[in-house]
Amino acid sequence: MLIKLKRMRSHLEDRKLALWLATTAGLLNAIALGAFGFFPSHMTGNTSQLSSEVSTTDFRDIFFFGTLILTFVCGAIIARAIVIWGIVTNNRLIFCHILLTEGIILTAISLYETYYHSFSSNREVITALCGLMGLHNSTSTQLSNGRVRSTHITGTLTDAGISFASVIVAMLRRDFSKDTQAQKSQLTTHLTTIFSFLTGGVVGLSLFDYFGFASMTAVGLVLTTVAVLSIFTISRRVNKWRRAY
């Protein structure tokens, strides 16, 4: 699921990726909404809000929303730069390392908010979460060759609509080609991503209502656990293969 440097990548692996990363993205997005009243992954809304603030010349909010957008982009840039370094050095675990780092940072932020929460630092925390969301979305996008965008549900809904139309037209034309099967598989992957994000959002708000910022810690620990287990499993397989040859 978290390996990029191989010959082919299956839709099943992308669906597993969507289940984990889109669900955690939905969880974090909903928890951030409950805690701060902001969606850290909703760059369309933040850009629209920035336009609104420009029209009212509220320079403090203009700077804030501009920072959110820039931080999200910086998270995506950082993830891409790290992946390029991993490809150059033939590091098969590079995506695991990115998710591990993200999980550790998110856990640290949530623990800080749990014990030292202050309204004066809300904007800084929201900005940090936007950066992590940019990193998160860039990681899943690169890993799946653009088939899984864990936070970009607008684009995923568009892609799902395109795939759905392609499948319907192929059925009407009685087209049973490989291309049609690929469209069906892609549609299933998109629907898995959407369902995972939606489920994560519903569960995230419920968890925040019951556990507060501790629920954000759980998301960080989930990402960390997935990364660590992947590193352990992949390393064991590589060592077993080397001993065999």
Return the sign of the alpha-carbon dihedral for residues 164, 166, 167, 171: positive
**239 occurs within a structural domain:** yes
**5 occurs within a structural domain:** no
Cβ–Cβ < 8 Å for 160, 187: yes
Look up the pTM and report it.
0.86
Q: How many Cβ atoms from other residues are within 10 Å of residue 202's Cβ?
A: 12
**212 occurs within a structural domain:** yes
**57 occurs within a structural domain:** yes
Residue 203 — pLDDT band, cuts 50, 70, 90? very high
**230 occurs within a structural domain:** yes
Q: How many domains does the chain have?
A: 1
**71 occurs within a structural domain:** yes
**DSSP strands (E only) in 56-161:** none
**4 occurs within a structural domain:** no
What CATH number corresponds to the domain at position 31? 1.20.1250
pLDDT (tens digit per residue) in 55-91: 766 678 888 888 999 999 999 999 999 999 998 988 8
Q: Tell me which amino acid residue 137 is.
A: N
d(CA 194, CA 199): 9
Helix boundaries (H) for 41-58: 43-56
Domain with 57 in it = 11-244
Q: How far is CA 171 from CA 135, 159, 176, 183, 187, in A?
A: 38, 18, 8, 11, 14
* DSSP assignment letter at 121: G
DSSP string over 134-154? HHHHHHHHHHTTTS--SS-HH
Output the pLDDT for position 7. 55
Most confident of 5-9, 181-185, 202-206, 235-239: 202-206
**2 occurs within a structural domain:** no
Checking if the pLDDT of 52 tops 80, the result is no
Q: What is the dihedral of CA 185, 187, 193, 196, to 10 degrees?
A: -90
d(CA 98, CA 138): 10
Q: Residues 119-128: what's their mean pLDDT?
A: 88
d(CA 128, CA 68): 9
Q: Which of 30-44, 80-94, 210-224 has the lowest mean pLDDT?
A: 30-44
